[in-house]
Amino acid sequence: MSSSAAVRAFDADVPNDLEAFWLPYTANRAFKKNPRMIARAKDMFYFTPEGRAVMDGTAGLWCTNAGHNRPPIVEAIQAQAAELDYAPAFQFGHPKAFQLASRIAALAPADLDHVFFTNSGSEAVDTALKIALAYHNVRGHGSRQRLIGRERGYHGTGFGGISVGGIVSNRKMFGSLLAGVDHLPHTYNREQQAFTKGEPEWGAHLADELERIVALHDASTIAAVIVEPMAGSTGVLPPPQGYLKRLRAICDKYGILLIFDEVISGFGRLGHAFAAERYDVVPDMICFAKGVTSGAVPMGGVIARKPIYDAFMDGPEQVIELFHGYTYSGHPLAAAAGLATLDLYRDEDLFARAKALEPVWAEAIHSLKGLPNVLDIRTVGLVGAIDLASKPDAVGARAYAAMDRAFRDENLMIRITGDTIALTPPLIISEAQIGELADKVGRLISSVN
Ligand SMILES: Cc1ncc(COP(=O)(O)O)c(C=O)c1O
């Protein structure tokens, strides 16, 4: 640290120095020249430091499903901070982590009934991949080491997650990644699927590519397949009808574990507790995060089927069964926030609400078809994406301009990936607000011609 920087560090009177914070997934220089700053939030809205209300069209980063600063969640966190700030989860426990695990297991389908807590979606993914490898190992099938992801998949930013992930920019700077990873093809085909509401009819056959991968490597080398039931971060790709069932059947045929990364699709986003329920497919593990605490405290986790957990419960009882975990696994504040969040989802029936709103939402977002540069619109649950044509010389510039103008001129937060606009509001959005949001996005699209 330079001496002037050292002085500055102790000088409480130097506000608004934006330099030190290296923002994640952000164009830092553009942001720091003209920041988009948020000071507080309530329900469907953010507020800038000047007090301007900005509608949250993205549930933060797909996480504040119950809306912002809901009193039951706020109060639960406050009370927990006063009662128990921290307790280790290695060899000790506190009641709320067990309560939350039971509640999450009860929401998950079939025998998905054991929960391993992490602090983020990225950690949830790495945890699930490690459990898959270790599961085969403890059963004497240690040759099953390959992990299969999918093109365009997003599984967070850990080395495991980017290895099985399929978003090029997230991978290309970071070396050779995990060895022994292969990828299914992504499921998007604009010619066949453009402007579909819900799951496209075309594309189930793409699951059969797993047969080709098995033929290439042999099933005895493959541990697990991981997919997002609905690919979110790549720009919202709902699964083709029947695709996930086909993937399940092929995994069953060859003894391969199927992992659903439900970090986005969990906790109501698609009108159900988990997408597994919507698509009537039981995976072997579900990764979750985000909506479990409605974004209020970082938390993630993996839900594993009973036979997976049971496979580890062997050997002398005083010996640790799985050498994995995090200092903050099941943190008291996160557990308290999670319990209050699940109560709120239940009391306000928010998953059913998302399902009931799906047709209204789809209608509103698809009404933007025909605006300049709109190449495709996809909707599913309370999720929508609009692909804009890229400017020939500047891929991403059109959507970036839309995101910036949305915040400054339309008082709306949207999310972008490349030239795709993604919309994922809190599940408490009203029908009137859906109309308002669509009107704002329509004006934006017309303005970034
Ligand atoms: C499907 C999926 N998996 C994993 C992650 C990573 O979660 P986190 O950012 O909490 O590490 C995300 C984040 O958006 C996600 O969408």
Here the CATH number for the domain that contains residue 368 is 3.90.1150.10
Ligand 1 centre distance from Cα of residue 14 (Å) = 34
Nearest to 227 by CA among 250, 196, 202: 250
In this structure, are 304 and 176 located in the same domain?
yes
Chain-centre distance of CA 408, in angstroms?
26
In this structure, are 261 and 272 located in the same domain?
yes
CA terminus-to-terminus distance, the chain: 45
Residue 283 belongs to domain spanning: 73-347
The best mutation among 154, 269, 326 to test binding of ligand 1, ranked by most ligand atoms within 8 Å of the C-beta, falls on 154
Q: What is the DSSP string of 246-288?
A: HHHHHHHHHT-EEEEE-TTTTTTTTSSS-HHHHTT---SEEEE
Ligand 1 centre distance from Cα of residue 289 (Å) = 7
Q: What is the pTM (predicted TM-score) of this model?
A: 0.97
Please give the Cα distance from 186 to 198 (Å, whole number): 17
CB 29 within 8 A of CB 18: no
- Look at residues 347, 370, 394 and tell me which one is the last residue of a structural domain: 347
- Look at residues 323, 347, 371 and tell me which one is the last residue of a structural domain: 347
Closest atom, ligand 1, to C-alpha of 161: 4
Closest atom, ligand 1, to C-alpha of 298: 10
DSSP SS3 for 424: coil
pLDDT in tens, the chain (449 residues): 444 444 455 555 555 689 999 999 999 999 999 999 999 999 999 999 999 999 999 999 999 999 999 999 999 999 999 999 999 999 999 999 999 999 999 999 999 999 999 999 999 999 999 999 999 999 999 999 999 999 999 999 999 999 999 999 999 999 999 999 999 999 999 999 999 999 999 999 999 999 999 999 999 999 999 999 999 999 999 999 999 999 999 999 999 999 999 999 999 999 999 999 999 999 999 999 999 999 999 999 999 999 999 999 999 999 999 999 999 999 999 999 999 999 999 999 999 999 999 999 999 999 999 999 999 999 999 999 999 999 999 999 999 999 999 999 999 999 999 999 999 999 999 999 999 999 999 999 999 98
Ligand 1 centre distance from Cα of residue 128 (Å) = 13
In this structure, are 9 and 149 located in the same domain?
no
In this structure, are 59 and 110 located in the same domain?
no
Closest atom, ligand 1, to C-alpha of 290: 10
Q: CA torsion, points 123, 129, 134, 140, in degrees to nearest 10?
A: 180
In this structure, are 96 and 56 located in the same domain?
no
* Protein residues whose CB sits closer than 6 Å to any atom of ligand 1: 120-122, 125, 154-156, 228, 232-233, 261, 263-264, 289, 300
Ligand 1 centre distance from Cα of residue 318 (Å) = 34
In this structure, are 166 and 62 located in the same domain?
no
Please give the Cα distance from 48 to 64 (Å, whole number): 18
Ligand 1 centre distance from Cα of residue 1 (Å) = 33
Domain count, the chain: 2
> Exposed (0-12), middle (13-18) or buried (19+): which is 49, by Cβ within 10 Å?
exposed
